[in-house]
Amino acid sequence: MPPNLTKPDSGFTSKQSPLCTFVSLIFLLIIGFYTLHYPPGNPKKVLLFQQIFLSSASNSTIASYLRSLTSHPHLAGTKPSLETIHYVKTHFQNLGLETHTVPFQTLLSYPVHASVLMHFGNGTVLNLPLNEMGIPSYPSSGLIQPYHAFSPSGTVHGKVVFANHGREDDYRTLGLMGVNVNGCIVVIRKGGGLSRGAVVKIAEKKGALGVLMYAEGDVSKGSFGSGVERGTVMEGVGDPLTPGWGADEDGERLKLEDKKVLQRFPGIPSLPLPFESAQLILDSLGGPLAPQEWRDSGRSNLSHVGSGLVMVNFTYQGEKKLATIYNVVAVIRGLEEPDRYVLMGNHRDAWTYGAVDPNSGTATLLDIARRYALLMRKGWNPRRTIIFCSWDAEEFGMIGSTEWVEQNLVNLGAKAVAYLNVDCAVQGPGFFAGATPQLDNLILKVTKKVQDQDSEVVATIYEKWKTMNGNNIQRLSGVDSDFAPFLQHAGVPSVDIYYGRDFPVYHTAFDSFNWMINNADPFFWRHVAVAGVWGLLGLHLADDPVLPFDYLSYAKQLQEYKDAYSRVLDGNISLTPLAASIQEFTSAAKQANEETKKLMEQEFTNDLLALKIRALNDGLMLAERGFLDTDGIKGREWFKHLIYGPRSNYESGLEFFPGISDAMAESKNMSQKDGHAAIKHEIWRVARAIQRAAAALKGELV
């Protein structure tokens, strides 16, 4: 067990051994020596601070943070959430950090009443349970009943059809069986890659009256019952009343009935169900037999798809209202480049207790702040400014982070180096990372320095990760955490890291501290590992004289994307503009790498060298902005990034160049001439974006 890591059965009390005390004294002596003999920013001194950061890990400290954060539910905009805001703010202030809260007044959504009744042919009525089973009293615990935020209110009555995951191809399968969902209530099994909002929108388009959704994961762990997965069904991100600008208390707002606002919400009601309640409905279905693959893909006892003799009466009443949310921001000013920002963020709000989602990330962020403050007491000052961001109302649609990005868009565009996001720091075993490609090599470098506690033998995260999935770094095309506004709207290079692919108590009342210590991370070693990677990424980006970006990784990825489209596009559609722009970008990336090597080989710092490094860093920082397009993605114009962003064509499997993917799908409903023209236009748009990025990287006017 590494130093300062204690087992949970010790009450998470951190006891430092004599050896650790001796090592700490040695570190203090070395720090004093280096402070006297090496100037600020010296590589040897920077390396020493990184080593001290890693050695100051404490699983007991992170555990204590998480226990406090999850002592009660803290849904955004509710009174209990104010205690969590105060806890995070006080923590930063007690560390001596410059701290403030940033309030926004935004539209949020809460449940008032819900019921689902099954009406049988013999006249009996069954009122289905809607809350988690095993939770004795919702009001006394502070839990809010399961619901879908921003679902419209309504009462619907009809027969039921099971539509699997609610994808377009699922409805096509039903159609081939002669099953029509028009005028019915559809039951959806969560999964299939679609957001809740997209599932409800598709059901609405098919003529369904309402949607009942359940999660099938086995959430029975020891004394835990079956959970109900809450979530939002709003389309897009940010406050729907202030699209494109920050939701200041006295600022402009659209009306709730405005067309731009209404199109963000589904037109039919939806509600999450406990698995057991969903199973009762599925057991009542008649009609055709379900396809074998539908029956084999889950744990539901599914036989028929519907409809049967049983009718369902489904009522949901919700309330949309303005509520004040609070971001908490803490700052460590950079010594040499205070106008360059490295942002580290996690959201704080939770549907329930939020031990995994999101407060495993919050506790980890608080511990990084503690360790950075320790470094400052030992003489460290970052070269660039580090900003800790604790976001509010992420669960409603990345509202807190989006409003802040919109409010600070110009300064972020000019000064943000990178955004490092952690949402659910620990969900279970296995390290995962997502990033924009210029950060790939830095992630690999850092994971070689942090020990993986899941290994039976001593191994780094890099080594264990390599055996698991070959150090595969995912891309950030999804709109599922707070990196979305930074990357997809502001063009800031971004990272998202976590342990565990998913977890069975997602968005349920069982996402608690007890579940964490009994299942996901009993000894909080995985939390320590995430903190190590996250914190070292921050130190490198804040301290390295030349930003550790390698755009050759980006160029390679772009080439792979072009090749993927060449395999699926009509042969009459040329990808020559794309190929030419990628070649230009590759040349710029090579030039930047050569300049980096040349500047880093110079031993003495002078004003001219500092200016050259600053100019190179500007190009490295601003290149990502080149991928933005002022017109945005067609139909989702707020999303400006043409390489990574949401797409409407989920069936293609192409999670990059969303504009091209969407144009391919739309072309099926056009003449060949018009369809080809639409696709070619999107190809040219992407090509121009890559050219802009290349020009920014070179730092030259065309």
Lowest-pLDDT choice from 133-137, 207-211, 513-517: 133-137
Looking at residue 549, what is its pLDDT?
98
381 and 424 in a common domain? yes
558 and 497 in a common domain? no
Q: What is the mean pLDDT of the chain?
A: 91
Strand pairing report for 311-332 and 154-158: antiparallel
Q: Identify whether 584 is a catalytic site residue.
A: no
Please compute the mean of the pLDDT values over residues 610-632 and round it to a whole number: 97
Confidence of residue 264 (pLDDT cuts 50, 70, 90): very high
Look at the chain and report how many structural domains it folds into.
2
529 and 579 in a common domain? no
Q: How far apart are CA 460 and CA 637, in angstroms?
A: 42
pLDDT digits (tens, 9 = 90+) for 676-695: 999 999 999 999 999 999 99
* Beta strands in 4-138, from DSSP E residues, in sequence order: 98-119, 125-127
CATH number at residue 558: 1.20.930.40
518 and 467 in a common domain? yes
Please compute the mean of the pLDDT values over residues 103-113 and round it to a whole number: 98
Q: How far apart are CA 261 and CA 254, in angstroms?
A: 7
588 and 500 in a common domain? no
| In a domain? residue 625 | yes
Q: What are phi and psi of 273, to 5 degrees?
A: -120, 150
| In a domain? residue 286 | no
Looking at residue 42, what is its pLDDT?
66
pLDDT digits (tens, 9 = 90+) for 128-183: 999 998 776 677 788 999 999 999 999 999 999 999 999 999 999 999 999 999 99
pLDDT digits (tens, 9 = 90+) for 383-400: 999 999 999 999 999 999
Burial class of residue 594 in the structure, from the number of CB atoms within 10 Å of its CB (0-12 exposed, 13-18 middle, 19+ buried):
exposed
Q: Evaluate whether 245 touches 162 at the Cβ level (below 8 Å).
A: no
pLDDT digits (tens, 9 = 90+) for 274-327: 999 999 999 999 999 999 999 877 667 789 998 888 999 999 999 999 999 999
Looking at residue 297, what is its pLDDT?
72
Looking at residue 456, what is its pLDDT?
77
454 and 327 in a common domain? yes
Residue 638 reports pLDDT greater than 50: yes
Looking at residue 136, what is its pLDDT?
67
| In a domain? residue 354 | yes
504 and 637 in a common domain? no
Which of residues 543, 559, 592 is at a domain's end? Answer: 543
Q: What are phi and psi of 487, to 5 degrees?
A: -80, -50
Higher pLDDT, 469 or 152: 152
Check 132, 229, 337, 394 and give the catalytic one. Answer: 394
DSSP codes joined into one string, 290-356: PPHHHHHSSSS---B-B--S-EEEEEEEEEEEEEEEEEEEEEE--SSEEEEEEEEEEE---SSS-TT
538 and 443 in a common domain? yes
Residue 3 reports pLDDT greater than 50: no
Looking at residue 137, what is its pLDDT?
67
Those residues with Cβ within 8 angstroms of residue 305's Cβ, 6 or more apart along the chain or in another chain = 161, 162, 163, 174, 177, 179, 285, 287, 288, 289, 290, 294
511 and 375 in a common domain? yes
pTM, to two decimals: 0.93
CATH number at residue 101: 3.40.630.10
Q: How far apart are CA 495 and CA 439, in angstroms?
A: 8
Please compute the mean of the pLDDT values over residues 505-527 and round it to a whole number: 96
Residue appearing with tokens 């359940």? 214
Helix (H, G, I), strand (E, B) or coil at 102: strand
| In a domain? residue 24 | no
| In a domain? residue 443 | yes
517 and 617 in a common domain? no
Looking at residue 511, what is its pLDDT?
96
Domain that holds residue 477: 46-106+322-543
Q: Evaluate whether 320 touches 256 at the Cβ level (below 8 Å).
A: yes
Q: What are phi and psi of 25, to 5 degrees?
A: -65, -40
| In a domain? residue 301 | no
513 and 467 in a common domain? yes
Which of residues 514, 543, 572 is at a domain's end? Answer: 543
415 and 361 in a common domain? yes
If residue 474 lies in a helix (H) or strand (E), which one and from where to where? strand 473-474
Q: How far apart are CA 688 and CA 627, in angstroms?
A: 8
Residue 36 reports pLDDT greater than 60: no
Looking at residue 10, what is its pLDDT?
35
Residue 514 reports pLDDT greater than 70: yes
Lowest-pLDDT choice from 14-28, 443-457, 516-530, 636-650: 14-28
| In a domain? residue 491 | yes
Q: What are phi and psi of 534, to 5 degrees?
A: -60, -45
Looking at residue 87, what is its pLDDT?
98
| Cβ-based neighbour number of residue 474 at 10 Å | 13
DSSP codes joined into one string, 347-391: E---SSS-TTTTHHHHHHHHHHHHHHHHHHHTT---SEEEEEEEE
Helix (H, G, I), strand (E, B) or coil at 222: coil
| In a domain? residue 468 | yes
Which of residues 543, 566, 596 is at a domain's end? Answer: 543
